[in-house]
Every structure is written in C-alpha cells, then in structure tokens.
C-alpha cells in the first residue's frame, strides 16, 4: 500500500510541478467519511496539503486555518492561529517562502507529506528547513482530508514547547575624525545596562521601586515591563542607568532584584561645542523611520543619526545588524540554529575639517563677542574656510554654538549637564541650533560687487578701459543714491571700483546691464550658484533668493525694473544668500571659474583601509575669460594691499602681506531704524596661486572693514603661521 501511495504521489508531483502553483483548486470532497483506497482519495489528500502550503506561501492565514481539522480549529481559534504565525514571521523577518514536496507516506487514515521549505528573510538571508512533515487525517466533520495541525508545523521543535529566539547583533557605531585623524566622535561614553531574571527576583515590590528610582521611570511602567510584557522565565532588560546611579544603587539592585549589569558604550563628542552643526547628534528614530529600520534588522529603540553628518552618513557609521535565529527549549537549551548572518561592519569617517583651525575660529569668535560693543546687537556669526581647488571645507563654524552631547540619549556629559544644555538652547533667543553658514540667508552688501564685475566684463558691457566718475552719488531721474564716501572716489575702473568699493560705479554697472538685457545680471548670479543649493549633501542648507525678472512680482508685487538690477548690483534689495554660497562664488573667481561642490566628508573606512568619499567635482564650468578674472583679482588684491583699499588698514603690518591676500569687504544694510548692518569679508590666498578662500559674516555688527575683516585676518594668520 505504501509503495503504491509513494509511486502515485511522485507522478502527481511530475504533473503538477513543485509548490505554490498560482491556480490550484481542491477536488470535490466526499460528503461523508471514506476509506482512502482509491487514487482519487490520495490525490484529494495531496490537494489539501498543497492548498494549505500555497496559502502559507501567499500569507493567507485565514485560508490556512480553514484547512485545519474541525477539532484543531476549536483548539486554536483563528485569532490565536494568526498570532502564532505572525510572531514567527516577525522573528524570521520573513519576506517570502517556497516549498518543495518530497513524498507522501501513511496508511488509510493518516498521511504525512514530507517536504522542504526555503525561507527568504530580510536579515538572515535565505535558508532551507528540510524533511518537514505535514500530517493529514480524515475529518469526520467534513468527510474528507484535513490538516492535523500543531505549532510544530511551523518548526518541529515548536510543537514540543520550544520558542523562536532572534538574537540581534547590533554593531557599535563607528568614529568620526578630522582630516588629521583627531577624534571628534566615538563610543567611549559609558552607561550601565540593568538585567534581571524575572523568575529569581527575591522581593518584587521593593525591586520595582528601586528600579523605578534608578531608571527615572514610573513604578507602573516597571511593573508592567516585568509582569505583563515579559514572560516569567525571561531575562528582562530593565534599561540603562548612568555610572553615578550605578555606584549609588547597584548594591540595592543586587540584593532585591538579583540584577546583573553590563557596560553599554554610548555616543560621545570629544569637544561637543566645536562642530555641533556639522557632526549633528544621534537619537531614537521617528515613528515614520521605524518600519524601514526594522526591515534591515534594527529595532524601534535603535540609536541612529538625527542631524548633520551623523544623519547623512548614518548607514556608513551604523553598519547593519546581523543576528542568529534559534529554536530554544523551555529550559533555555539551544536546540537548533536555523540561520545566522554576521553584521555589516560600520565604517569610520574622516572629515575635511581641520579641528585645530576650527577651534581657533571658535575661540576668536567667542573672544570677539566678549569684548566688543557691537556684540549687544549681534545675535550670531558664521565663518567658512574652503579649499578653492577641490571644494573641501576646512572649517565651518556657526556662532553661537552648543554642546552636541546634550542632544544625545544617555549623554556622556551626564543627565544633569545635558538638561542644563538643553535649557540653555531653548532659552537662547540667538537660535544656536541654526547653522548660519548654510541655513542663514542674508543681504550680501558689497561682496555682491564681485558678481556684478563678472557680469559687466563677461557680457562686454564694460571692459578694462571703462571709466566712471564717482562723485559720491548716483541719480536716475528722481532716484538719487549715495556712496558710503560722501565726497566720492573720483574716476573709477572695474579694478579700482572693487578696491574702493565705490557704490555709484556699481549702481551704473547694474543700470547698464539691465538696459542691455534685464536677465544679464541675474543670469550670471544663477551661473555662479546664487538662488540654489550648493550641493553640500552632508548637512541641511537653504537656497536663498536671487531676484530675477520672472520672480520679482511674486516677491514684491511689483514688476521688474532698473531699480531691482541696481539694488542687486550692490547686494541689497531682495537678494539673500548664505555665507557658503558667497564663498563658493568667490572661490570660482579664485580658481578660474569653476563652481565646485563643497565637501565635508573626505574618507570612510576601517582602520587604515580607507576609501575616498568625495573627490573634486565641478558642478559648473562658467568658462570665464581669464583676462576678465585677472582684472577682478587685481581689484580684490588692492582691497588688502593698496593705500585706498577698504581693508588695507586692517592688514597693515601683517605677515599675510607676504603671502598675498585678496578680498572684498561688504556692509549689508538691513531693515529697521538704527539696526546695524551685517558685516562681511570674503578673501582668498595666496594671491598668485590661490589655495583657500574664507568668508566671515557677523550679523548686525557694523561695517565689513571694521568687524569681519580683522577676524578674517586673525584666522588667516593662524592658518599660515600657527598660534602666536
């Protein structure tokens, strides 16, 4: 009999193919109990088995349950049946499964289908469980074959009281270094994890009170964790405590909870206030992020990057979890490992930032705000230093800063200090969380004159011989505008107009450009990156605003006119740009007309095995005439070194004159009576072979030559000559 059943079933397999056919229907079933003596009976049993397994393959738990015997369905109602399979699916991180029938054996009343199942999972990959048995019996309630089901039909050991246990292997977050290998972020913060055997707690009431106090959680939450959300035989992870709490309370937790303790590394920023806007911070995922994280093996309690480089490079720094799925007996013995996959090793990052230069920028800004009267009106400042030849950011500091450790869960500075830090951030009206280098947008004042000079020369509206008599005012009909120097500067060219920062010269340039074509000046602004993102992917930025003939009505309600072009020519009116955008524009003037993508992350890797993250990338080759650039550069060099240059008095006697520094001052007027202007200075060096560019912008601090320029000089002196 068994041989005949086996031969027949093999024939059925050859005709029907292997598992999971899309269109399979059950043969008519007898209306009363019958002895399985015919081929039709055997085929009917085979069909029921296939329909049950097909439904599992589709994830149709309701249909699976319908093929169970009447007695099984009474013992395991549908809701309970669903829960059992859903728990198994979650533990497996199952995405799909396939089955392969092998043979059908049994006698007239009980049959067993031997088959293999291959599981595809998100975390554990693909593995096969072989030689499984699915039992079928004649169910007298329906007069036909049905599945004699138990939890062992998921995995055999589950039918004997075992449970599926997934042990996640979460890799430790990798470090962040500066360009020279100085540690900026690591996992050397320390917390203590509290574990307790739920079955061995001597005094549950006292234990729960001690844990609630130590963990700073409600007593009800602790009781619920142990009594409701955890099984009696589980080792319960109660949570993390700070080292000082461990020192104070560990004896009590040992005595009343029989607690065990493990050290838990946490994120630490070595100098938390040095680069908070660049590095960012870590924290728990938002609700919208949980599903995606769980799909790759993390839990809702995972620590991930929440801002800055920590967020943009989270996959690199965090790696991917591995894990082991086992069947574990009630007594804790591991019965079988179903699958195991190693975690993906996190990679450290080396930033383009020079931590020493960054620290000096921070020190100089803090010093300036402590000792100058303009600091009463100024709420903040920004400094960025960039390599003009490859776009690497060497320093990026937004003042005021804050300690990034305060935003991390389990802060390495301690909960009390973190709370003080958070309160200071909330109460500070200067908005320390704002990264003024990329998210602050400002009228640019006279640093816009570099763009106007490019547009005038490249369009042919002006050339090297163009002259204009700067009398101290400029007029068009009733529209009269004045220079910052009431007596005027006399006869000006493009070069001397830049050096003297003569407003009327550039008013006229903007007027002439507009008369030729209203799009000329705005188009060169777009070409050199204004009104758009710089392409810096590591941290958030804003695009600012470049007024053009097609957007000015939306911005002001008025049509475009010569007045908008004249305002734009000296960086006033509706134009707003970030310090990084303006720095990038001047870097293009310095490097020959190449608008580069700025970079903050230089390399990634493990130990000494590093790979370059970002190389020099030209986003726009503006194809500027070298002769025109030479005129603009000479004017910028005269700003610093000629007698009439607007910044020359700040560089008098500086060793930087031997290096050769070229720059442009800017004083940007802002709305509000008696509101001080923003102070700008942008420079590059060395003059003959530019290597770096720097922008300094101080909000509401006064003239560019008086505030931003001396700060820039001190930063450049440190860069070239070190601490003095």
pLDDT per residue as tens digits for the range 281-314: 999 888 888 888 877 777 777 889 999 999 999 9
Closest of 703, 701, 657 to residue 683, by C-alpha:
657
- Three-class SS of residue 126? strand
pLDDT value of residue 39:
63
Quick one: pLDDT at residue 14? Answer: 30
Helix%, strand%, coil% for the chain, nearest 5 = 40, 25, 35
The residue among 662, 657, 723, 671 whose CA lies nearest residue 700 is: 671
- What is the token pair recorded at 37? 């003596």
Give the Å distances, CA to CA, from 133 to 76, 106, 113, 155, 217.
20, 11, 5, 10, 48
**Residue 343: predicted pLDDT:** 82
Dihedral (Cα; 473, 476, 478, 481), 10-degree rounding? -30
* Domains in the chain, CATH or no CATH each: 2-161 (3.10.450.100), 176-351 (3.90.1310.10), 445-721 (3.40.710.10)
Strands 678-685 and 110-121: unpaired
Phi, psi of 433 (to 5 degrees): -70, -20
For 405, residues 6+ apart whose C-beta sits below 8 A from its C-beta are 268, 269, 272, 411, 412, 413, 418, 421
Contact at 8 Å (CB) between 683 and 660?
no
Pairing mode, strands 176-177 and 348-351:
parallel
Q: What is the pLDDT of residue 189?
A: 79
Distance between CA atoms of 624 and 608, rounded to whole angstroms? 41
Structure tokens that stand for 428 in this block: 């500070």
Q: pTM (2 decimals)?
A: 0.81
Burial class (CB in 10 A: 0-12, 13-18, 19+), 414: middle
Beta strands 176-177; 163-169: pairing state: unpaired
- The whole-number pLDDT of residue 456 equals 98
Tokens of 192: 């203590």
Tokens of 706: 């008086």
The residue among 516, 514, 488, 513 whose CA lies nearest residue 502 is: 488
Q: Could you tell me the CA-to-CA distances from 26 to 44, 144, 274 in Å, in that order?
A: 7, 11, 71
CB 436 within 8 A of CB 697: yes
Contacts of 492 (CB under 8 A, 6+ apart): 467, 468, 469, 470, 500, 502, 505
Contact of 505 with 644, CB cutoff 8 Å: no
What letter would DSSP give residue 703? -
CA angle 549, 555, 561 (to 5 degrees): 40
Residue 667 is encoded by which pair of tokens? 């004083």
pLDDT of residue 238: 87
Helix boundaries (H) for 258-354: 276-279, 287-295, 308-312, 314-318
Position 28 scores a pLDDT of 34
At 480, give phi and psi (nearest 5°).
-115, 130
**Residue 37 backbone dihedrals phi, psi, to 5 degrees:** -105, -10
Residues in the chain with pLDDT values less than 70:
1-40
Contact 167, 340 (CB under 8 A): no
| CA distances, 517 to each of 5, 442, 453, 456, 652 (Å) | 91, 26, 16, 11, 42
Rounded to whole angstroms, how far apart are CA atoms 577 and 174? 35
């Amino acid at each position: 009999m068994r041989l005949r059943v086996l031969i027949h079933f093999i024939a059925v397999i050859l005709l029907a193919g292997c598992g999971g056919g899309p269109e399979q229907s059950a043969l008519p079933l007898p209306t009363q109990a019958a002895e399985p003596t015919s081929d039709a009976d055997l085929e009917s049993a085979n069909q029921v088995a296939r329909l049950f397994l097909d439904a599992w393959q589709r994830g149709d738990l309701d249909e699976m349950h319908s093929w169970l015997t009447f007695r099984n369905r009474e013992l395991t109602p549908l809701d309970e049946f669903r829960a059992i399979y859903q728990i198994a699916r979650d533990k497996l991180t199952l995405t799909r499964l396939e089955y392969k029938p092998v043979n059908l054996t049994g006698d007239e009343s009980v049959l067993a289908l031997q088959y293999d199942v291959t599981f595809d999972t998100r975390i554990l990959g693909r593995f096969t469980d072989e030689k499984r048995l699915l039992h079928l019996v004649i169910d007298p309630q329906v007069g036909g074959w049905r599945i004699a089901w138990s939890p062992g039909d998921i995995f055999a050991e589950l039918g004997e009281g075992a449970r599926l246990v997934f042990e996640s292997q979460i890799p430790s977050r990798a470090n962040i270094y500066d360009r020279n290998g100085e540690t900026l972020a690591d996992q050397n913060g320390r917390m203590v994890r509290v574990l307790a055997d739920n079955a061995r707690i001597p005094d549950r009431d006292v234990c729960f009170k001690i844990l609630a106090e130590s963990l700073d959680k409600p007593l009800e939450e602790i009781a619920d964790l142990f009594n409701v959300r955890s099984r009696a035989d589980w080792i319960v992870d109660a949570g993390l405590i700070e080292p000082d709490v461990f020192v104070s309370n560990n004896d009590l937790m040992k005595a009343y909870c029989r607690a065990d303790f493990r050290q838990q590394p946490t994120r630490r920023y070595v100098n938390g206030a040095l680069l908070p806007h660049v590095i960012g911070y870590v924290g728990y995922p938002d609700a919208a992020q949980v599903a995606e994280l769980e799909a790759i093996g993390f839990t809702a309690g995972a620590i991930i990057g929440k801002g800055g480089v920590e967020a943009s490079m989270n996959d690199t720094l965090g790696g991917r979890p591995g894990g082991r799925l086992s069947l574990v007996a009630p007594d804790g013995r591991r019965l079988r490992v179903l699958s195991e996959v190693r975690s993906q090793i996190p990679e450290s990052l080396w930033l383009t930032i020079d931590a020493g230069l960054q620290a000096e920028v921070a020190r100089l800004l803090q010093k300036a705000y402590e000792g100058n009267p303009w600091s009463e009106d100024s709420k903040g400042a920004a400094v960025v230093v960039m390599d003009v030849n490859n776009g690497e950011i060497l320093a990026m500091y937004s003042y005021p800063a804050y300690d990034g450790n305060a935003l991390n869960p389990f802060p390495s500075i301690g909960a009390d200090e973190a709370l003080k830090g958070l309160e200071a951030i909330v109460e500070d009206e200067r908005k320390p969380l704002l990264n003024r280098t990329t998210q602050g947008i400002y009228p640019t004042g006279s640093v816009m004159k570099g763009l106007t000079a490019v547009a005038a020369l490249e369009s042919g509206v002006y050339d090297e011989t163009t002259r204009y008599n700067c009398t101290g005012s400029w007029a068009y009909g009733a529209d009269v505008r004045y220079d910052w120097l009431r007596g005027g500067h006399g006869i000006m060219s493009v070069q001397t107009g830049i050096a003297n920062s003569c407003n009327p010269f550039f008013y006229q340039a903007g007027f002439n450009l507009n008369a030729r074509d209203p799009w000329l000046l705005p188009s060169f602004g777009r070409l050199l990156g204004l009104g758009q993102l710089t392409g810096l992917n590591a941290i958030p930025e804003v695009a600012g605003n470049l007024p053009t003939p097609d957007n000015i009505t939306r911005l002001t309600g008025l049509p475009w006119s010569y007045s908008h072009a004249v305002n734009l020519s000296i960086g006033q009116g509706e134009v707003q740009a970030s310090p990084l955008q303006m720095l990038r524009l001047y870097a293009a003037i310095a490097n020959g007309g190449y608008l580069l993508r700025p970079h903050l992350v230089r390399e990634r890797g493990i130990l000494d095995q590093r790979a370059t993250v970002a190389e020099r990338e030209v986003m726009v080759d503006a194809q500027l005439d070298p002769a025109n650039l030479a005129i603009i550069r000479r004017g910028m060099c005269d700003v610093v070194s000629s007698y009439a240059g607007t910044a020359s008095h700040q560089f008098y006697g500086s060793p930087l004159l031997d290096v050769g520094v070229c720059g442009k001052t800017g004083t940007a007027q802002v709305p509000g009576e008696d509101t001080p202007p923003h102070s700008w200075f942008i420079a590059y060096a060395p003059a003959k072979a530019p290597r770096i560019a720097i922008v300094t912008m101080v909000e509401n601090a006064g003239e560019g030559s008086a505030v931003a320029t001396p700060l820039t000089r001190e930063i450049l002196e440190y860069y070239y000559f070190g601490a003095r």
